[in-house]
Amino acid sequence: MSASNGTIRIGLVGIGKIARDQHLPVIGASPDYTLTAVASREGRYEGVPNYRTLAEMLAGQGDLDAVALCQPPQVRFSAALAAIEAGRHVFLEKPPGATLAEVGILIEAARARGVSLFASWHSRYAPGVEPARHWLSGRRIRSVAIAWMEDVRHWHPNQAWIWQAGGMGVFDPGINALSIATHILPPFFLTGATLSVPENRQAPIAADLHFTDADGTAIEAVFDWRQTGPQTWDIRVDTEDGLLVLSKGGSVLTIDGSEQPLPPEAEYRGLYDRFAALVRSGTSDVDLNPLIHVADAFLRGERRTVEAFTD
């Protein structure tokens, strides 16, 4: 299925900040897509049919090829399954689910129905990530230090759900670091962790994570939501050939202190290019590893109670 001009007819579900800031402008500018409809309980978007629910959109738009799901992970499973079972390709915002098991069910459903499922990790499309992966490939790594430290009051003001069970707390941004690390490093696993949980919350405000790989490399990560002033989103990889630093969330790359030339930021354009390629080749791309590391940290991490957090 595709529109007469060869584009992918796409509908978007969940008109929130990320949809307005990223998805809708990128879809509008891409030669691969025609935005055909949107569904949202509260948001509105001019120029295309608006529906209240995905079910109404699927019923009303019989020629829709694909849907992009921008709702929170807690409600994403039933929408994704409904879209897959209706024969639509599915683009999932990160993380792909509130649990690992539900994503496994989606993978199998997409395979059975013959549609493409894309679990997107936008940080992997930051401009420095692919050059970093390429430079590290085949090089001997001595150690890795990840620091993902930001001010939760600035980035997630009054978001109660993010502090509740399943909201993941500081792993909401931290999973972006893990999505980059799992893309540029050999496979690694958690050997220990400390999760700092405010006494009035369920989810951690900070985490110290210790990983290693098959060669015993030390990979240390610090996630912290209590960082005021300058914000830190850095991955430092010490190799036998020099020190690689990905900073500002992957948008700056230095090797031994020398800043590398990079293309401009285009994370969501990269994601939508990838999704179009998946749809056209009839394949899926669901890498669970970032979410596996988060689940492993909750499974194996030691919890310590820290002072109450109030917005």
| CB of residue 105 to its own copies, shortest distance in Å | 5
| CB of residue 154 to its own copies, shortest distance in Å | 25
Report if residue 99 touches its own copies, rule: CB under 8 A.
yes
The correct pick among 20, 111, 140, 303 for binding its own copies (CB under 8 A) is 303
Place of tokens 């980059």: 180
Report if residue 306 touches its own copies, rule: CB under 8 A.
no
The torsion region of residue 56 among left (phi > 0), alpha (psi -120 to 50) and beta comes to: alpha
94 counts as catalytic: yes
| CB of residue 110 to its own copies, shortest distance in Å | 12
DSSP for 268-310 reads: HHHHHHHHHHHHHHT--B---HHHHHHHHHHHHPEEEEE----
The SS3 assignment for 161 reads helix
CA distances to 3, 36, 56 from 60, rounded to whole Å, are: 16, 11, 6
Report if residue 3 touches its own copies, rule: CB under 8 A.
no
The correct pick among 258, 302, 308, 310 for binding its own copies (CB under 8 A) is 302
Place of tokens 């993380």: 95
| CB of residue 202 to its own copies, shortest distance in Å | 6
Binding mask 56-95 for its own copies (x = CB under 8 A): ---------------------x---x--------------
Q: Which residues, in sequence order, are CB contacts of 78 under 8 Å at separation 6+?
A: none
Cβ–Cβ contacts within 10 Å for residue 31, how many?
A: 9
Determine contact, residues 281/89, Cβ cutoff 8 Å. Answer: no
Check 23, 76, 88, 94 and give the catalytic one: 94
The footprint of its own copies on residues 205-234 (CB under 8 A) is 213-214
Longest CA span, the chain: 59
Cα-Cα-Cα-Cα dihedral sign, residues 162, 271, 79, 19: positive
| CB of residue 39 to its own copies, shortest distance in Å | 21
Question: Please, which residue, 125 or 211, has the CB nearer to its own copies?
Answer: 211
The footprint of its own copies on residues 279-298 (CB under 8 A) is 289, 292-296, 298
The footprint of its own copies on residues 144-183 (CB under 8 A) is 164-166, 168
Residues belonging to the active site? 94
Interface ranges with its own copies (CB under 8 A): 77, 81, 97-102, 104-105, 108-109, 164-166, 168, 187-190, 192-193, 202, 213-214, 289, 292-296, 298-303
